[in-house]
A and B are shown apart, each in its own frame.
Chain A
Amino acid sequence: MRKFETVEAVAAPLEMPNVDTDQIIPARFLWRARSDGYGDLLFNDIRSDSDGSRKPDFVLNRPAFAGAEVLVADRNFGCGSSREHAVWALADAGFRVAIAPSFGDIFFNNSFKNGFLPIVLPEARCNELRAALARNPGAKLVVDLEAQEVRGPVGVNDGFAIDHFEIDPFRRELLLAGMDDISFTLSQSETIGRFEDRYKAAMPWV
C-alpha cells in the first residue's frame, strides 16, 4: 500500500446527503476484475444517462474538477450495502480523501484498508467548504495527515480555514507507514503461531 503523504489536490464538492454504496458503484458491475479498475464506474448511475453519455452538469464531469483527489460530501456518505467496491471505485478514480459530516460505518472501515482517508468535519464546515469549492471550481485543499489538518481552499481568497480532524492514532500510523492490515498482521506472526498451537491442541478436529 502506498504511503499516505500530504495531499494537495483539487477538491470536488458533492451536494447529496446519504449517498449509498449502490450510488457509488451499482451492483451490476461487481463481476469486474479488481485489476481492471472501477474508476470509470464511479457514481455511474448519477454521472451518466441510461445510454451511457456523461451528464455535463455532474460535478466530476466538469473539466475544472478533473484530477480531483479530495471529495467533500454531505452527511452519511457511503451508507448502505457493505460492498468494498465503493472504496475501490473512489480510489481507482484517483481520490485519496473524502471529507463529510458522517460516513456509513462499513464504508468508513473499508476506507482504511485501502489507503483511503475518510475525514469527519463538522456539518457547518463541510457545507462552507462545498460552497467555496463550488464558487471556485478547481481550487485545492491540503490534507496533512501528520498534523491532522485540512487547510484550504488554497490559492483563492474564499473560505480558507485550518481544520483539525480526529483519527485513531493506530490507523494514522498504518496509513503514514503505508502498511495495510495484512502487512501488520504478518508482523505479528509469532503471537499468531503460538495461538494456533494452543488452538490446535484444544480442538484437534478443526
Chain B
Amino acid sequence: MAGTLFDHIWDRHTIMVRPDGAVLLHVGRHLVHDGSRAGFKALAEKGLPVRHPERTFGTPDHYVSTHASTLEAIAEPHRREMVAALTENARASNVTLFDLGDVRQGIVHVIGPEQGITLPGLLMVCGDSHTATHGALGALAFGIGASEVSHVLATQTLWQSSRPKSMRVTVDGDLGPGVTPKDVILAIIAKISAAGGTGHVIEYAGSTFRNMSMEGRMTVCNMSIEAGARAGMVAPDETTFAYLKGRPYAPQGADWERAVAYWRGLVSAPDAVFDSEVYLDAAEIEPMASWGTSPENAAPVSGLIPDPAHAPDAERRGAIERALEYMGLKPGMRMEEIPINRVFIGSCTNSRIEDLRAAAEVARGRKAIIPALVVAGSGLVKQQAEAEGLDAIFKAAGFRWGEPGCSMCVGMNGDIVAEGEHCASTSNRNFVGRQGRGARTHLVSPAMAAAAAVTGRITDVRKLMAGGI
C-alpha cells in the first residue's frame, strides 16, 4: 500500500471530485441516534427513502434515562419524543435499531465496535462529533452535521470540501502503573493544544498503541476531536482482528478470511509522508486531570495549576485567567488540592468493560464520600460487568449503577452537575456548562475518577494502588 492509511481509505471511498474541489465520498456504514430526528425529517419532506437501510444502524443514547431503560422512564416530553422518533423512523425505513429494552442498546460509539458494525478500512459517519472513536479499528470515521445526516441517508454519500491533512502521533514505550489510555490522550492534547490537529486526520502509531487493547485505542481515538482533528485512527492488527472475530455484523466464514487478508494490508507505507509528526515518550506520561475549560487544560496529577502570569502571550494569559475563575481555582495550587463534589464514570470515552474494571479495582473495599455515578456504555457492557460482580463492588462502595446512555457526559437526559460543583468525569469535554450550567468538569481516567470518589479530591491513583489511603 502506498501513502498513509488515511490516504488509502479516502481514495477507496472517493466517487468523484466536483469543479469546486469538493469530494464526494461513499459511506460504508452510517450510525444514527436519538439526535438524528432532523435528518430523517428532512428526508421525509423530500419524499426520499433511505438508500441503504442495511448499512444504517441506530440506537438511542443522548436522551435516555439512567434509571430505567424504558421510554416511560424519560420524564420530560421533548426528550421522550426524540427517542420515540428514532424508533418510528428506524421502523419506517427498515434501519437496524438497538432500541430501549434491547440488551444491545447503548452509546452509539460503544455499540458500533461491539456489534462489529465498525470495520477496518471502512469510511463511517455519524451525526456526532465523537465518531472518531471508530478509527480505533482502522476505519476512517467522521462526525457530520444534520443536513449531512439526511444527505447520507438519501445517497449513502458525503461531500467534503477539502481533503484533510495527515498527522502522525507516535508514542513509544510502556505506560507506568496507574497510567491509562485516557492519560495518554490528555497528555497528547496538552502537548499539541486543542487546535493542534485542526484540519488533520491523526494516525496514532508506536509501540504504546500496538500494545494497547481495543478499548484503550477507542478512548484515544474518541478524543481526537478535542485536539481539533477531523478523525483519529490506529492501523488494524492482530488485536483488532481478535476483537472483531465472531461479532454479529463482522464478516463471517469465507468473507472473514478475505476481509482479514485485505485488512492486513491496511498500514501506512514505511515511506509515507505525514503533514506533521508528533512524538511522546510513554514513560513520561503520568495520570492526568484537567483543571480548566478546554481539554488542553490538563496537567499531570503530581503537578501544579499553571499561573497565568507565566503564559507566553496576552491571549493565553486571558484564557487561563477566565478558565480559573470559572473553575474557582487558584494559580499554583497543587492538582491534588482540587476538591471534588461528584464523580461520573461513563461516556463514549470511558464506559467499556476495561474502564469499569479499572474503576472497580480502585473502589473495591472503599467508600465513596461524594455522589458517584457509573453508567456502562451499553447493555452488553453492563451485563458483562454484572457477570464479573463489578456492580456489586460499586454498590458496596456507594456508587450509583445506572442504565446505559450518554448520561452526565452532556446532561441532555437530565443527569447534570449542579452549579459550582466540581465533577471528576471520565467524559471528553470540560467546556463551560457542558455538564450543567456552572458545572466544573475535571476530565480524568476511570481509575482516577474512582480515586476522587473515595477521597473527595483529585488524588493520584497510584497512592491508592499502593494501598496508601
Q: Does A196 contact B (CB under 8 A)?
A: yes
Contact A34 B20 (CB under 8 A): no
Cβ < 8 Å to A, chain B residues 146-169: 146-148, 150-151, 154-157, 159, 161
Q: Does B310 contact A (CB under 8 A)?
A: no
Q: Mark B128-162, 1 if CB is under 8 A from A, else 0.
A: 01000000000000010111101100111101010
- Selected interface stretch from A3-11, A121-129, A157-165, A166-174: A166-174
Q: Which partner residue on chain B sits nearest A205 by CB separation? A: B251
Q: Mark B251-264, 1 if CB is under 8 A from A, else 0.
A: 10001101100100
Contact of A110 among B26, B42, B143, B145 (CB under 8 A): B145
Contact A106 B154 (CB under 8 A): no
> Shortest beta-carbon distance, B452 to chain A, in Å?
26
> Shortest beta-carbon distance, A188 to chain B, in Å?
7
Q: How large is the interface on B (under 10, 10 to 19, 20 to 34, 35 or more residues)?
A: 35 or more
Q: Mark B287-324, 1 if CB is under 8 A from A, else 0.
A: 00000000000000000000000000000000000000
Known: A110-B147, A113-B147. Contact between A205 and B19, CB under 8 A? no
Residues of B within 8 A of A199 (CB): 26
Contact A109 B161 (CB under 8 A): yes
Q: Does B210 contact A (CB under 8 A)?
A: no
Residues of B within 8 A of A16 (CB): none
Cβ < 8 Å to B, chain A residues 164-206: 168-171, 180-182, 185-186, 188, 191-192, 195-196, 199, 203-206
Residues of A within 8 A of B63 (CB): 31
Q: Mark B98-119, 1 if CB is under 8 A from A, else 0.
A: 0000000000000000000001
Per the bound structure, the CA–CA distance linking A27 and B250 in Å amounts to: 36
Contact A84 B151 (CB under 8 A): no
> Shortest beta-carbon distance, B129 to chain A, in Å?
7
Q: Mark A21-39, 1 if CB is under 8 A from B, else 0.
A: 0000001001111110000
Q: Does A82 contact B (CB under 8 A)?
A: yes
Contact B157 A192 (CB under 8 A): yes
Per the bound structure, the CA–CA distance linking A82 and B143 in Å amounts to: 10
Sample (29) of A-B pairs whose CB atoms are under 8 Å apart: A27-B433, A31-B78, A31-B82, A32-B78, A33-B37, A33-B41, A82-B143, A82-B145, A84-B146, A84-B147, A169-B19, A170-B22, A171-B20, A180-B147, A182-B48, A182-B154, A185-B154, A185-B157, A186-B154, A191-B16, A192-B15, A192-B24, A192-B26, A196-B26, A199-B26, A203-B121, A205-B119, A205-B250, A206-B122
Q: Which residue, A114, A180, A181, has most C-beta atoms of chain B within 10 A? A: A181
Residues of A within 8 A of B78 (CB): 31-32
Contact of B155 among A31, A106, A171, A185 (CB under 8 A): A185
Going nearest first, the 7 A-B pairs with the smallest beta carbon separation are A205-B251, A170-B20, A34-B38, A205-B255, A113-B147, A84-B145, A195-B15
> Number of contacting residues on A, CB 8 A?
35
Contact A188 B24 (CB under 8 A): yes
Residues of B within 8 A of A106 (CB): 145
Q: Which residue, B145, B251, B262, has most C-beta atoms of chain A within 10 A? A: B145
Q: Mark B74-97, 1 if CB is under 8 A from A, else 0.
A: 000011011000000000000000
Cβ < 8 Å to B, chain A residues 105-139: 106, 109-110, 113-114
Residues of A within 8 A of B197 (CB): none
Q: Give the interface of A toward B (CB within 8 A).
A: 27, 30-35, 82-85, 106, 109-110, 113-114, 168-171, 180-182, 185-186, 188, 191-192, 195-196, 199, 203-206
Q: Which partner residue on chain B sits nearest A186 by CB separation? A: B155
Residues of B within 8 A of A205 (CB): 119, 250-251, 255-256, 258-259
Q: Which partner residue on chain B sits nearest A29 by CB separation? A: B78
Main secondary structure of the interface of A (DSSP, over half): helix
Per the bound structure, the CA–CA distance linking A82 and B171 in Å amounts to: 30
Q: Which partner residue on chain B sits nearest A27 by CB separation? A: B433
Q: Which residue, A27, A186, A188, A205, has most C-beta atoms of chain B within 10 A? A: A205
Per the bound structure, the CA–CA distance linking A156 and B150 in Å amounts to: 44
Residues of A within 8 A of B412 (CB): 31
Residues of B within 8 A of A170 (CB): 18-20, 22
> Shortest beta-carbon distance, A185 to chain B, in Å?
5
Contact A182 B150 (CB under 8 A): yes
Contact B150 A185 (CB under 8 A): no
Contact A188 B16 (CB under 8 A): yes
Per the bound structure, the CA–CA distance linking A27 and B143 in Å amounts to: 17
Per the bound structure, the CA–CA distance linking A84 and B156 in Å amounts to: 20
Contact A206 B28 (CB under 8 A): yes
Per the bound structure, the CA–CA distance linking A204 and B161 in Å amounts to: 29
Q: Which partner residue on chain B sits nearest A114 by CB separation? A: B147
Per the bound structure, the CA–CA distance linking A31 and B86 in Å amounts to: 13
Residues of B within 8 A of A181 (CB): 147, 151, 159
Residues of B within 8 A of A185 (CB): 24, 151, 154-155, 157, 159
Q: Does B395 contact A (CB under 8 A)?
A: no
